[in-house]
Structure 1
């Protein structure tokens, strides 16, 4: 597979996690999510789509960079596996939070997700520095989402 095809495939793999999550997120927003008490720092709804689109694209480029080094660096194969597993947790958060409307269980999932992203960022940085840097905005956003998830649980328990 040529370079451009690999980049597109890596981005599509990441965007797929977002698409799966959106099947559960979109229907819950006007009813259940709108009815929740939200913290003062809750971003307006229009922010989430563009942010996630950008983050999934950056994640895909990061994945591609590590994929290209999978035979040059001993951490790369396991880092790729962890990355793919973490995407399952990424999508699962939306299923649990929006689909099942289980804020506390979603909080546990997102804390695990933060741990995985932290490990991935470190591993990707060791394999190819730009790959690690590309995950830093994602880690920051998910840390913010964790605080938001916790706040929503506190306000709505």
Structure 2
């Protein structure tokens, strides 16, 4: 099965836009909110399970691509059914929360607030995956690694907050 094919068709512009928005948005957030974070990350007391800093951009890029494909599949399936708004609302919410987190945690140093925000993010990602799955099972499944990563990141955020009060 072709992952990008919905009902036997691929709408290249819609697919590209669906992937580019989170990938480019994540890169812009990284450039704006994460300047100097590598040094900041290294200065923080790290929990034993904290990955090295280089892991984050690699993982996020892969996740942004997967969520873009998931969004594309869900959107293309929902359009003819008139359910596009219902399916995309939680996706857009989670993407906004995703982009906000870096500012809270790194730029503004609000680790406790970032923790609360990430809990909301996890809920929004699960909601988006549920809505996607209801309309297109593969779209929902494509969100599972993102759910797992955000759950891991929530635990990581909690640990950083506890160790660096």
TM-score, with structure 1 as normaliser: 0.92
Q: How many residues align?
A: 155
Q: Choose from 54, 73, 86 the match for 1:46.
A: 54
1:140 to 1:75, Cα distance in 2 relative to 1, 3 A: farther
Bigger share in helix: 1
Determine which of 137, 141, 150 is the counterpart of 2:158. 150
CA contact (8 A) 2:97 2:117 kept: yes
Equivalent residue number for residue 65 of structure 1: 73
**What is the RMSD of the two structures over their aligned residues, measured on CA atoms?**
1.4
Structure 1 residue 71 displacement after superposition = 2.7
CA contact (8 A) 1:121 1:136 kept: yes
**Does the C-alpha gap of structure 1 residues 93 and 11 become closer, same or farther in structure 2, counting only changes over 3 Å?**
same
Could you tell me which of 11, 20, 31 is aligned with 1:3? Answer: 11
Report the TM-score when normalising by structure 2.
Answer: 0.88
Q: For structure 1, which runs of at least 5 residues remain unmatched after alignment?
A: none
Contact 1:75 1:123 in 2 (8 A): no
Could you tell me which runs of 5 or more consecutive residues in structure 2 were left unpaired when the two chains were aligned.
Answer: 1-9
- Extract structure 1 runs of 4+ deviating beyond 4 A: none
Per the TM alignment, residue 74 of structure 1 is displaced from its structure 2 partner at its CA by 5.5
For the pair 1:18 / 2:19, whether they are aligned, the reply is no
- What per-residue deviation string (whole Å, max 9, x for no partner) do you get for residues 27-51 of structure 1? 2221x22211000000112211111
